[in-house]
Amino acid sequence: MPAHTGGGLERRRRIDGMISLQEAEMVDVKVVGPGFIAITVSDVRRSAAFYEEYLGAVRDPFDFGPTAVAFYGWPAFSLSAPRPGQPGPSPETTTIALWWRASNGQALFERAKQAGVRIIREPVDGPFGCTFTLADPDGYRVTIYEKDQPLFWPPNS
């Protein structure tokens, strides 16, 4: 193959018919994301009610049927039942962290705790303001925080 000439792929190695992303160069591409998050849940109706009541989710009015619901926002997200042949929710094995910003973390904590929502980590005042972690109906950990940037951001130069 010719040497890199300023665009495209320097080398293309095919592995099972796919281009290796490790060897592909993205040219003139800006990735801004995530733009959409899909969460597999055991009971769409129960989980949708939880995300609306405790996390302020605003439901997309489009009828996706009984196995899915989507919510507006950035990023937008959906709750859906497992597809045939796919595993169900597995909050114990996922390493993906869900964070939701709240204007008053302490008030949300008190409301959720009073309603019997499982609290995984009690509130602390940290770089993201009042921060705590609760569990959604399937046990996914959702961290609530108040500030998008740590208090020490930007660093002093």
- The pLDDT of residue 74 is 83
Q: Which CATH architecture has domain 33-82?
A: 2-Layer Sandwich (3.30)
Secondary structure class of 15 (helix, strand, coil)? strand
Taking CB atoms within 8 Å and a gap of at least 24, the contacts of 108-116 are: 108/54, 108/144, 109/134, 109/144, 111/54, 112/54, 115/54
- State pLDDT tens for residues 64-119: 999 999 999 888 999 999 999 988 888 888 888 899 999 999 999 999 999 999 99
| Domain ranges (residues) in the chain | 33-82, 91-157
Q: Do 33-82 and 91-157 show the same overall fold?
A: yes
What is the Cα–Cα distance from 54 to 46, expressed in whole angstroms? 12
Query: Which fold, 91-157?
Result: 3.30.720
- State pLDDT tens for residues 115-153: 999 999 999 998 888 999 999 999 999 999 998 876 565
Model confidence pTM above 0.75: no
